[in-house]
Structure 1
Amino acid sequence: MVQGTASDVGKSLVTAAIGRIMMQDGYRTAPFKSQNMALNSYVTEGGLEIGRAQGMQAEAFGITATSDMNPILLKPSGEMSAQIVVHGVPHAALSAREYREKFLPEAKGTVMAALNRLREAYEVVLMEGAGSPAEINLKARDIVNMNLAGWADAPVVLVADIDRGGVFAFIVGTLELLEPHERARVKGFIINKFRGDVSLLQPGLDWLEERTGIPVLGVLPFLPQLRIEAEDSVVLDSASGRQRTDSERELDIAVIRYPRISNFTDFDPLEDEPDTAVRYVASADELGTPDAIILPGTKNTAADLQYLREQGFPEAIGRALGEGCQQLAGICGGYQMLGQKLLDPDAIESAEPGESEGLGYLPLSTTFLPQKTTVRVSGKLADGHPLQLSGEHHGAVSGYEIHMGKTTNLDTASVSGLFSLNGPEGQAVPEGWGTTDGRIWGSYLHGLFHNDEFRRGWLNGLRRSKGLAQLSVTYSAAALREQEFDRLADTVRKHLDMHAVYNIMGLPGREE
Structure 2
Amino acid sequence: MAKNIMFQGTGSSVGKSILTAGLCRVLVQDGYKTAPFKSQNMALNSFVTKDGKEMGRAQVVQAEAAGIEPTVDMNPILLKPTSDVGSQVIINGEVHGNVKAFDYYKKKPELKKCVLDAYNNLDEKFDLIVIEGAGSPAEINLRDNDIVNMGMAEMVDAPVLLIGDIDRGGVFASIYGTLMLLSKEEQERVKGFVINKFRGNVDILMPGVRMLEEKINKPCLGVIPYIDLNIDDEDSVTERFRDKGKGDINIGVIKLPYISNFSDFTPLELEHGINVKYILNSDDFENIDLLIIPGSKNTIKDMRYLYDTGFDRIIYKLHRKGIPVIGICGGYQILGQTITDPDSIESNTNKINGLGLLNTNTIITATKETKQISGIINEELEMCKDIKDTNVCGYEIHMGQTTLSSDTKPFITLEDGRNDGAVNKKGNVVGTYLHGIFENDEFRKAIIKHLMEKKGLELKENDISYNDYKNREYDKLADLIRENLDIAKVKEIMGL
- Fold agreement, TM-score > 0.5: yes
Q: Cα deviations across residues 425-482 of structure 1 (Å, max 9, x unaligned)? A: xxx3221111121111100011111111110101112223333345545531111100
Change (3 A) 1:304 1:89: same
Q: How far, CA to CA, are the matches of 2:386 and 2:353 in structure 1? A: 37
User: In the TM superposition, what is the alpha-carbon distance from 1:387 to its structure 2 partner?
Assistant: 5.1
In the alignment, is residue 361 of structure 1 matched against residue 362 of structure 2? no
1:130 is matched with which residue? 134
Change (3 A) 1:458 1:75: same
Greater alpha carbon shift after TM alignment, 277-286 vs 194-203: 277-286
The answer to whether the Cα contact below 8 Å between 2:380 and 2:387 also exists between their aligned partners in 1 is: no
Q: How far, CA to CA, are the matches of 1:373 and 1:385 in structure 2? A: 27
The residue identity in structure 1 corresponding to 2:491 is: Y
1:79 is matched with which residue? 84
Q: How far, CA to CA, are the matches of 1:385 and 1:498 in structure 2? A: 52
Q: Which residue of 1, 11, 14 corresponds with 1:6?
A: 11
Q: How far, CA to CA, are the matches of 1:339 and 1:289 in structure 2? A: 25
Q: Which residue of 60, 64, 70 corresponds with 2:69?
A: 64
Q: Which residue of 401, 411, 426 corresponds with 1:418?
A: 411
- Structure 1 residues 370-381: aligned runs within 5 Å: 370-381=366-377
1:17 is matched with which residue? 22
1:183 is matched with which residue? 187
Q: How far, CA to CA, are the matches of 2:338 and 2:242 in structure 1? A: 35
1:228 is matched with which residue? 231
Q: How far, CA to CA, are the matches of 2:268 and 2:283 in structure 1? A: 23
The answer to whether the Cα contact below 8 Å between 1:263 and 1:297 also exists between their aligned partners in 2 is: yes
2:245 is matched with which residue? 244
What TM-score do the two structures reach when normalised by structure 2? 0.96
Change (3 A) 1:238 1:441: closer
Greater alpha carbon shift after TM alignment, 460-469 vs 75-84: 460-469
User: In the TM superposition, what is the alpha-carbon distance from 1:417 to its structure 2 partner?
Assistant: 2.2
In the alignment, is residue 106 of structure 1 matched against residue 103 of structure 2? no
Q: How far, CA to CA, are the matches of 1:361 and 1:239 in structure 2? A: 28
The answer to whether the Cα contact below 8 Å between 1:288 and 1:320 also exists between their aligned partners in 2 is: no
Q: Which residue of 170, 174, 178 corresponds with 2:174?
A: 170
The residue identity in structure 2 corresponding to 1:135 is: E
2:3 is matched with which residue? none
The answer to whether the Cα contact below 8 Å between 1:326 and 1:465 also exists between their aligned partners in 2 is: no
1:340 is matched with which residue? 337
2:101 is matched with which residue? 96
In the alignment, is residue 161 of structure 1 matched against residue 133 of structure 2? no
1:510 is matched with which residue? none
Q: How far, CA to CA, are the matches of 2:431 and 2:68 in structure 1? A: 32
User: In the TM superposition, what is the alpha-carbon distance from 1:305 to its structure 2 partner?
Assistant: 0.5
The residue identity in structure 2 corresponding to 1:341 is: T
Give the match's secondary structure for 1:55.
Answer: helix
Change (3 A) 1:470 1:223: closer
Q: Which residue of 398, 408, 422 corresponds with 1:403?
A: 398
In the alignment, is residue 441 of structure 1 matched against residue 430 of structure 2? yes
Q: How far, CA to CA, are the matches of 2:386 and 2:319 in structure 1? A: 24
1:290 is matched with which residue? 288
Q: Cα deviations across residues 51-103 of structure 1 (Å, max 9, x unaligned)? A: 100011011101111111100000000010100000111002111111112x2
Change (3 A) 1:21 1:388: same
User: In the TM superposition, what is the alpha-carbon distance from 1:356 to its structure 2 partner?
Assistant: 1.3
Q: Which residue of 318, 322, 326 corresponds with 2:323?
A: 326
The answer to whether the Cα contact below 8 Å between 1:76 and 1:82 also exists between their aligned partners in 2 is: yes
The answer to whether the Cα contact below 8 Å between 2:312 and 2:355 also exists between their aligned partners in 1 is: yes
Give the match's secondary structure for 1:137.
Answer: helix
Change (3 A) 1:237 1:277: closer
User: In the TM superposition, what is the alpha-carbon distance from 1:202 to its structure 2 partner?
Assistant: 0.9
Q: Which residue of 255, 262, 265 corresponds with 1:264?
A: 262
Q: Cα deviations across residues 166-203 of structure 1 (Å, max 9, x unaligned)? A: 10000000000000001110001111000111111110
Q: How far, CA to CA, are the matches of 2:196 and 2:80 in structure 1? A: 27
Q: How far, CA to CA, are the matches of 1:184 and 1:319 in structure 2? A: 61
Give the match's secondary structure for 2:130.
Answer: strand
Q: How far, CA to CA, are the matches of 1:343 and 1:390 in structure 2? A: 34
Q: Cα deviations across residues 273-298 of structure 1 (Å, max 9, x unaligned)? A: 11211110011232124111100001
Greater alpha carbon shift after TM alignment, 276-285 vs 53-62: 276-285
Give the match's secondary structure for 1:203.
Answer: helix
User: In the TM superposition, what is the alpha-carbon distance from 1:385 to its structure 2 partner?
Assistant: 3.6
Q: Cα deviations across residues 288-332 of structure 1 (Å, max 9, x unaligned)? A: 241111000010000010011000011111122233x52011000
Q: How far, CA to CA, are the matches of 2:119 and 2:458 in structure 1? A: 53
Q: How far, CA to CA, are the matches of 2:309 and 2:348 in structure 1? A: 22
The answer to whether the Cα contact below 8 Å between 1:435 and 1:441 also exists between their aligned partners in 2 is: yes
User: In the TM superposition, what is the alpha-carbon distance from 1:394 to its structure 2 partner?
Assistant: 7.2
Change (3 A) 1:168 1:266: same
User: In the TM superposition, what is the alpha-carbon distance from 1:392 to its structure 2 partner?
Assistant: 8.0
The answer to whether the Cα contact below 8 Å between 2:380 and 2:386 also exists between their aligned partners in 1 is: no
Give the match's secondary structure for 1:78.
Answer: coil
Q: How far, CA to CA, are the matches of 1:392 and 1:280 in structure 2? A: 26
Q: How far, CA to CA, are the matches of 1:98 and 1:67 in structure 2? A: 23
Superposed CA RMSD: 1.5
Q: How far, CA to CA, are the matches of 2:136 and 2:296 in structure 1? A: 27
Greater alpha carbon shift after TM alignment, 471-480 vs 137-146: 471-480
1:45 is matched with which residue? 50
The residue identity in structure 2 corresponding to 1:280 is: Y
The answer to whether the Cα contact below 8 Å between 1:73 and 1:85 also exists between their aligned partners in 2 is: yes
Figure out how many residues of one structure are paired with residues of the other and give that number: 491
Q: Cα deviations across residues 130-177 of structure 1 (Å, max 9, x unaligned)? A: 000000111112110001111111100111101111100000000000
Q: How far, CA to CA, are the matches of 1:326 and 1:471 in structure 2? A: 22
The answer to whether the Cα contact below 8 Å between 2:33 and 2:128 also exists between their aligned partners in 1 is: yes
1:255 is matched with which residue? 253
The answer for unaligned runs of 5 or more in structure 1 is: 508-512
The answer to whether the Cα contact below 8 Å between 2:377 and 2:388 also exists between their aligned partners in 1 is: no
Q: How far, CA to CA, are the matches of 1:236 and 1:206 in structure 2? A: 31
Q: How far, CA to CA, are the matches of 1:37 and 1:19 in structure 2? A: 21
2:478 is matched with which residue? 489
Identity %: 47
